[in-house]
């Protein structure tokens, strides 16, 4: 059996007709969806920690380097998402360009990115809420706010927020996008307040030396802060629910990435300009900087912004995971009984509930640390494969209609692979071991179930010719 068989684009689009999702998203919804997933605790926490430990004031260049890697990959994503407006993101793109086995591995990597990431984000949301309530004099019992390994029974706040967002995602994409829109504006408002209050207190002397750890520190910082960029690819998972995917998907992907990159660099510049970078190695560097300049209510502003930020990240991660599962189930990679679209709400409610239950279990009972590097590995791998895929499709199917064309693809695609590969090389060795185990499990699943039950395998066994 040919494990590198591909689906042509017409078949991918036709395969969505039976379980079609409701089209309710516009360009602005997609930009806000991307911003909602990209800007989380990274802008409030990761910026300061990476500056203190890896790059110093040169953290601004780290964000530029990571932003460039994402920009090259984003252009590839934009071309494929406009050309193949189907749920599934990198998984679907890989199926059309590089074949079934590669597509499955990409989908498996996205499961790692979204589900593990969502579970860790839910646990982080709980920590911020418990901390904010504690500062207001409301102390919740440890038994119901900590996992068993930390002396508790279960992390109830994490479970509650996951259940609420699962319900919202079942209710409808439009309703989920409406909540995301409100929280994104609140989050951006908190970032704007920080920049407005702190910028007048910037002291250029704090930017000297600009590269205390050298260029190597900037590169290492870029590999770490890349976690703060994860999310723009989630926009492509919404392609099937977009009113005008040919135009709106590229706007959503590139627009959200540009807005977030500018904000990251601005926050990094102001943060390292207000206080010495050596003092930023703490869990609340933005709040610390505001307190240093005499604005003690800064922690409340940051707390509100962080909670809104984490909520939107969790919402979009769970949304993206369900759409990847939906695409894999349609193709027979996982049981097709999961492919059920609610007759009233037009959402994949079965897969959404399954995802919510898994995230509840992981975040509520298990001692999950935010393994940013593991999420980074899955995402960077997907970026590399999508970039190769867009180049392969240009060669194999040069005449197919492309509503958006990646400019200078012969240069952009290799640069995306080069930049993302460089960031992968800068990840810790343990990350490769854990990710290798995860991929090995995925390969086992593919060869024992997915290879035999894929729609292409069934079609071929029936005498059809669905592969190219």
Q: Where are the chain's structural domains? A: 23-454
Cβ-based neighbour number of residue 149 at 10 Å: 10
Mean pLDDT of 370-376: 61
Among residues 342, 264, 316, 372, the alpha carbon closest in space to that of 25 is found at 316
> Residue 204: pLDDT above 90?
yes
Mean pLDDT of 411-421: 90
| Cis peptide leading into residue 83 (ω within 30°) | no
Task: Collapse the DSSP code of 418 into the 3-class scheme (helix H, G, I; strand E, B; otherwise coil) and give the result.
Answer: helix
pLDDT number for residue 269 = 94
Whole-angstrom Cα distance, residue 325 to residue 111?
Answer: 8
Whole-angstrom Cα distance, residue 224 to residue 202?
Answer: 25
Q: Which residues pair with 467 in a beta bridge?
A: 7
Whole-angstrom Cα distance, residue 27 to residue 31?
Answer: 6
- Which has more confidence, 405 or 347? 405
pLDDT number for residue 370 = 43
Among residues 77, 87, 136, 62, the alpha carbon closest in space to that of 351 is found at 87
Whole-angstrom Cα distance, residue 125 to residue 307?
Answer: 6
| Stated length of the chain | 468
Cβ neighbors of 2 (< 8 A, separation 6 or more) are 99, 100, 467
- Which has more confidence, 8 or 169? 169
Band (pLDDT 50/70/90 cuts) for residue 444 is very high
Band (pLDDT 50/70/90 cuts) for residue 327 is confident
Query: DSSP code of 343?
Result: T
pLDDT number for residue 458 = 76
Q: In whole angstroms, what separates CA 175 from the centre of its chain?
A: 20
Query: DSSP code of 448?
Result: I
CA-CA-CA-CA torsion for 328, 37, 307, 207, nearest 10 degrees?
140
Angle between helices 214-225 and 59-83 (to 10 degrees): 40
Two tokens at 153?
A: 């029974």
Band (pLDDT 50/70/90 cuts) for residue 431 is confident
Mean pLDDT of the chain: 81
CA-CA-CA-CA torsion for 120, 122, 127, 130, nearest 10 degrees?
-170
Judge contact between 75 and 344, C-beta under 8 A. Answer: no
> Residue 314: pLDDT above 80?
yes
List, for residues 240-288, the tens digit of each pLDDT value.
677 777 778 788 888 888 888 899 999 999 999 999 999 887 667 887 8
**Per-position b or e across 293-307, b if 16+ CB within 10 A of its CB:** eebeebbebbbbbbb
According to CATH, what is the number of the domain 23-454?
1.20.1740.10
Output the CA torsion sign for 81, 86, 90, 96: negative
Whole-angstrom Cα distance, residue 369 to residue 341?
Answer: 34
Q: In whole angstroms, what separates CA 194 from the centre of its chain?
A: 24
């Amino acid at each position: 059996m040919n494990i590198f068989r591909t689906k042509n684009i017409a078949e991918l689009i036709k395969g969505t007709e039976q379980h079609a999702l409701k089209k309710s998203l516009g360009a602005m919804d997609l930009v806000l969806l991307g911003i909602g997933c990209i800007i989380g605790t990274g802008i409030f926490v990761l910026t300061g920690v990476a500056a203190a430990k890896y790059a110093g004031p040169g953290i601004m260049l780290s964000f530029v380097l990571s932003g460039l890697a994402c920009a090259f990959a984003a252009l590839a994503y934009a071309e494929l998402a406009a050309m193949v407006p189907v749920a599934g993101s990198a998984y679907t793109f890989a199926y059309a360009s590089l074949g079934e086995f590669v597509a499955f591995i990409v989908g498996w990597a996205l499961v790692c990115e979204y589900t593990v990431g969502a579970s860790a984000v839910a646990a982080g949301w709980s920590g911020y809420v418990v901390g904010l309530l504690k500062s207001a004099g409301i102390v919740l019992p440890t038994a119901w706010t900590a996992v068993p390994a930390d002396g508790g029974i279960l992390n109830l706040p994490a479970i509650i927020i996951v259940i609420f967002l699962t319900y919202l995602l079942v209710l409808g994409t439009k309703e989920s996008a409406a909540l995301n829109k409100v929280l994104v504006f609140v989050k951006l408002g908190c970032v704007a307040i920080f920049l407005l209050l702190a910028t007048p207190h910037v002291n250029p002397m704090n930017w000297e030396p600009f590269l205390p750890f050298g260029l190597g520190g900037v590169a290492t910082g870029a590999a770490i802060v890349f976690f703060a960029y994860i999310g723009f690819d989630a926009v492509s998972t919404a392609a099937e629910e977009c009113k005008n995917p040919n135009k709106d998907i590229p706007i959503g992907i590139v627009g959200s990435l540009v807005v977030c990159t500018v904000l990251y660099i601005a926050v990094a510049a102001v943060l390292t300009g207000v206080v010495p970078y050596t003092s930023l190695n703490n869990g609340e560097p933005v709040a610390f900087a505001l307190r240093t300049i005499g604005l003690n209510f800064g922690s409340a502003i940051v707390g509100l912004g962080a909670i809104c930020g984490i909520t939107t990240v969790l919402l979009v991660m769970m949304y993206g995971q369900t759409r990847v599962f939906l695409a894999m189930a349609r193709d027979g990679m996982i049981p097709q009984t999961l492919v059920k679209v609610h007759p009233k709400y037009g959402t994949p409610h079965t897969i959404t509930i399954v995802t919510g239950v898994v995230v509840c279990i992981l975040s509520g009972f298990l001692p999950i640390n935010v393994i940013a590097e593991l999420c980074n590995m899955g995402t960077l791998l997907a970026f590399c494969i999508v970039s190769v895929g867009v180049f392969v499709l240009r060669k194999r199917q040069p005449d197919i209609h492309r509503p958006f064309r990646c400019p200078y693809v012969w240069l952009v695609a290799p640069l995306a692979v080069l930049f993302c590969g460089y960031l992968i090389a800068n990840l810790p060795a343990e990350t490769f071991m854990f990710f290798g185990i995860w991929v090995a499990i995925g390969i086992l699943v593919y060869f024992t179930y997915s290879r035999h039950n894929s729609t292409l395998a069934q079609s071929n066994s029936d005498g059809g010719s669905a592969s190219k």
